[in-house]
Amino acid sequence: MEYANLRRQAASLKRSLFDQGYLDEQFCQVEDLQDEASPNFAEEVVSLFFKDSARLVANIEQAMEKYPGDFNRWDAHMQQLKGSCFSIGASKMSNECTSFRNSCAEENAEGCRRSFQKVKREHAILRQKLESYFQLLRQAGPARTATRSGGK
Amino acid sequence: MMSCKGLGGEGSAAAALPHVLAVDDSSVDRAVISGILRSSKFRVTAVDSGKRALELLGSEANVSMIITDYWMPEMTGYELLKKVKESSKLKGIPVVIMSSENVPTRISRCLEEGAEDFLLKPVQPSDVSRLCNRVLR
């Protein structure tokens, strides 16, 4: 019963992440790669994403401080972050990365700063929501398949 | 094709699968493409740079296909493609390029240089199935 309840909560949280635009179909593609050999594949990939993206966000912050007005450099760093967002289906964050890159193309430093704050905010929100999601899945335990007792 | 079931354990079964070398500087993308390739029943080695890819290709004789990101620091996927195609030992290995950007001039440049295909990221399992059926079977 508890397992079913936790699974329902996880499913509901995931649905809300899609409904609110935090995630897109690519996230399902990543989850679909899970199998018996890699039962925690999605969580591992997401964990890699947050480790990598934290580093990339720090790189961008540093680049904006050390190289003011070097829009090419800022853009190159953000391109990497956007690519990672694409790969796990982090659509809201990806959209903010695009806004930043658009500001770079316009050489709009203030626009870049505003977009970058939004990137960081979306990053923090997504991390918290996905941590909750995977925590629910871990508490629920591995998916159980229905068994027939004493059957034909 | 040799059956992989019940023959001498995991080692020989794995060795019977086509071996794909995945090259991407992003750890996330390496994990995803490796997952897709493994789910399509390929043996995968993933490295983080063109330089490491060439080192492995120099020592590992049995690579059936290379799938590489385009944008990587120090050596791009295009530069890796060129080096593979310039090598008498390696030029027969199919090379596929991946990129998150749809830049027609980039795509045609890679295809002209001998790339088998150019995939837009995020790469889907259906992309890999279609590609591997064409290139490896």
What is the rounded average pLDDT of the residues B106-124? 93
| pLDDT at residue A151, as a whole number | 45
| Confidence (pLDDT) at B60 | 76
Burial B90-128 (b: 16+ CB within 10 A, else e): beebbbbbbbbeeeeebbebbeebebbbbbebbbeeebb
Which residues partner with B19 through β-bridges? B43
- What is the model's pTM? 0.86
Res A152: pLDDT: 45
User: C-alpha distances in angstroms, B88 versus A132, B58, B83, B91, B95?
Assistant: 52, 12, 10, 6, 15
Residue type, B75: M
Which chain B positions have a beta carbon within 8 Å of A44's beta carbon?
31
Q: Taking a C-beta distance cutoff of 8 angstroms, is the pair B34, B46 a contact?
A: yes
Which residues in chain B (59-118) have CB-CB distances under 8 A to chain A?
71, 100
Packing angle of the helix pair A109-140, A71-88 (nearest 10 deg): 20
- Give B33→chain A minimum CA distance, Å: 10
Q: CB distance A80–B121 less than 8 Å?
A: no
Give the CA-trace dihedral at B30, B31, B37, B40, to 10 degrees. -160
Partner A contacted by B31 (CB < 8 A):
yes
User: A135-144: which pairs have CB atoms within 8 A and are 24 or more residues apart?
Assistant: A136/A6, A136/A7, A136/A9, A136/A10, A136/A13, A137/A6, A137/A7, A137/A10, A137/A43, A139/A6, A140/A3, A140/A6, A140/A7, A140/A10, A141/A3, A142/A39, A143/A7, A144/A3
Which of A 57-96 lie inside 8 A of B, CB atoms?
A: 79-80, 82-84, 86-89
Instruction: For residue B99, give the chain A residue with the closest CA.
Output: A83
Q: Which residue has the tokens 């050489």?
A: A107
- Which ipTM was obtained for this model? 0.85
Q: Express each pLDDT in B62-103 by its tens digit.
A: 899 999 999 998 999 999 999 999 999 999 999 999 998 899
Count the neighbouring beta carbons within 10 Å of the beta carbon of residue B32: 28
Whether the pLDDT of residue B2 is over 50: the answer is no
Q: Which residue of B has its CA nearest to A86?
A: B122
pLDDT at residue A119, rounded to an integer: 97
Q: Tell me if chain A has a CB within 8 Å of the CB of B2.
A: no
Would you give the distance in Å from CA A99 to the centre of its chain?
A: 17
Chain B nearest-CA distance from A97, in A, is 13
Strand order in the sheet with B19-23: B43-47, B19-23, B65-69, B95-99, B117-120
Hey, are the CB atoms on A83 and B121 less than 8 Å from each other?
Answer: yes
What would the pLDDT profile of A2-39 be if each residue is shown by its tens digit? 889 999 999 999 999 999 999 999 999 999 999 888 99
pLDDT of chain A along its 152 residues, tens only? 688 999 999 999 999 999 999 999 999 999 999 988 899 999 999 999 999 999 999 999 999 999 999 999 999 999 999 999 999 999 999 999 999 999 999 999 999 999 999 999 999 999 999 999 999 999 988 766 555 554 44
Interface of A with B in 95-134 (CB under 8 A): none
